[in-house]
């Protein structure tokens, strides 16, 4: 295989990995909004098989006792790790959490939702592995490409383990937030390596100082917004547990100040993006990649506002929960790609792949 062909494969594998990462985020959102995290209580198999069961008659004998014991063992190991790093209070809380001893009732729909999530995760992992392998074709040309790709693969392995802990520990608050931020980091590294491969050998353009700083500020604020959104979801999980899943229409109202802070930051995100859009229009031609990305960002923000309204006023419909987090991830990804494109161009009009 020629060097040029190998590089083209790298870009295709990398782009496919990026798309699949968004699919994984969507699948994860569906899993969480539907409460399907324990749909498959074991891994990598699902109820002892590679094809999930569709009926309770297909389940292994004593499956409840077996998987509760396995879950408790995993939590105990994690609690020991927390003890080592000084989080003794959290470790004790995990050990004393009696809810993990309550076995999940089999639900075929939830089982297949979780299984679909796993398939998406495995596919993204395969393409990230291929991306890492083919990234070495850029060694000596841009060494950051293989470094980012290999490091990303390590992050994915850690993220998979952390995801199992998220479910096993009944969504311990800060672990959920770290899990989401890691997903954004993996996505960002993948976007970086794709962009770096596209612009190899192309000249840098003069960075417009204030515009670039505003783009950085917008990206940081989006990360803060996503973090607060995760915290809102964690608080609503607490409210839901306290109300035993009932009174769904009251969950948002009982979330408290964290929801109001999330809403206020959303307004700041919108205002800063309006400013950024205005500067992009002044600085780049209508057909430039910068304007195209900014238009896409605005569309995603408007859709996200719509799902946010649905969550606030229509008792947190599951479809809106999953859509809201995917749209937030798309906004983040596009903003990061815009930032990368503000420092590279093919010609004076700002056209760039």
Please report the domains of the chain, with CATH numbers, ordered by start residue. 1-201 (no CATH), 203-353 (1.20.120)
pLDDT at residue number 250: 66
> In the predicted model, is pLDDT for residue 330 greater than 90?
yes
Give yes or no for residue 315 having a pLDDT over 80. Answer: no
Please give the pLDDT value at position 128.
Answer: 96
More confident position, 188 or 231? 188
Mean pLDDT highest for which of 29-33, 102-106, 212-216, 283-287? 212-216
Cα separation of 21 and 215, whole Å?
A: 23
Judged against a pLDDT cut of 70, whether residue 337 lies above it is answered with yes
Name the one residue in this structure whose structure tokens are 């993220």. 159
The angle subtended at Cα 316 by Cα 188 and Cα 310, nearest 5°, is: 80
Q: Is 86 exposed, middle or buried (0-12, 13-18, 19+ CB in 10 A)?
A: exposed
Q: What is the pLDDT of residue 247?
A: 63
Q: Is the pLDDT of residue 182 over 80?
A: yes
pLDDT: which is higher, 205 or 80: 80
Residue 64: phi and psi, rounded to 5, are -65, -50
DSSP calls for 258-288: HHHHHHHHHHHHHHHHHHHHHHHHHHS-TTS
What pLDDT was estimated at residue 214? 93
Higher-pLDDT residue of 56, 240: 56
pLDDT at 172: 61
The yes-or-no verdict on residue 351 having pLDDT over 60 is: no
**Residue 292's pLDDT is what?**
94
More confident residue, 284 or 204: 284
For 313, the 3-state DSSP assignment is helix
Most confident stretch, 94-98, 130-134, 178-182, 211-215: 130-134
Query: What's the pLDDT band for 353 if we cut at 50, 70, 90?
Result: very low
Looking at residues 318-338, what average pLDDT do you find?
Answer: 92
Rounded to an integer, the average pLDDT of 252-260 is 73
Average pLDDT over residues 145-157: 94
Half-sphere exposure (Cβ direction) of 294: Cα atoms closer than 13 Å: 27
In this structure, of 15-29, 71-85, 144-158, 281-295, the range with the lowest mean pLDDT score is 71-85
Has residue 161 got a pLDDT over 60?
yes
Q: Tell me, what's the pLDDT at 45?
A: 81
Reply yes or no on whether the pLDDT at 170 is more than 70.
no
* Nearest-10 crossing angle of helices 3-34, 108-134: 160
pLDDT at 352 over 70: no
Q: Which residue has the higher pLDDT, 127 or 170?
A: 127
């Amino acid at each position: 295989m020629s060097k040029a062909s190998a590089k083209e494969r790298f870009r295709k594998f990398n782009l496919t990995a990026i798309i699949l990462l968004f699919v994984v985020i969507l699948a994860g959102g569906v899993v969480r909004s539907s409460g399907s995290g324990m749909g498959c209580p074991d891994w990598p198999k699902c109820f002892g098989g590679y094809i999930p069961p569709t009926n309770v008659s297909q389940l292994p004998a004593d499956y409840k006792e077996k998987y509760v014991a396995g879950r408790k063992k995993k939590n105990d190991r994690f609690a020991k790790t927390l003890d080592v790093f000084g989080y003794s209070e959290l470790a004790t809380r995990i050990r004393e959490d009696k809810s993990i001893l309550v076995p999940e009732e089999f639900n075929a729909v939830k089982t297949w939702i979780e299984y679909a999530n796993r398939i998406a995760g495995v596919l993204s992992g395969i393409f990230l592995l291929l991306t890492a392998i083919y990234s070495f074709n850029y060694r000596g040309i841009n060494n950051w490409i293989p470094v980012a790709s290999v490091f990303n693969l390590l992050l994915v392995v850690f993220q998979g383990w952390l995801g199992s802990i998220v479910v096993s520990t009944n969504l311990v608050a800060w672990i959920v937030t770290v899990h989401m931020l890691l997903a954004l980091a993996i996505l960002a590294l993948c976007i970086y390596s794709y962009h770096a491969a596209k612009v190899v050998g192309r000249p840098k353009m003069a960075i417009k100082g204030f515009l670039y700083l505003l783009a950085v500020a917008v990206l940081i604020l989006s990360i803060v917004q996503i973090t607060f959104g995760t915290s809102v979801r964690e608080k609503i999980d607490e409210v839901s547990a306290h109300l035993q899943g009932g009174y769904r229409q009251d969950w948002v109202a009982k979330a408290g100040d964290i929801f109001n802070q999330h809403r206020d930051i959303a307004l700041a995100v919108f205002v800063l993006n309006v400013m950024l859009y205005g500067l992009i229009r002044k600085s780049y031609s209508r057909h430039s990649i910068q304007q195209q990305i900014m238009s896409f960002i605005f569309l995603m923000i408007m859709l996200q506002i719509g799902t946010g309204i649905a969550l606030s006023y229509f008792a947190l419909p599951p479809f809106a929960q999953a859509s809201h987090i995917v749209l937030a991830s798309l906004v983040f990804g596009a903003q990061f790609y815009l930032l990368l494109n503000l420092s590279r161009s093919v010609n004076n009009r700002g056209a760039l792949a």
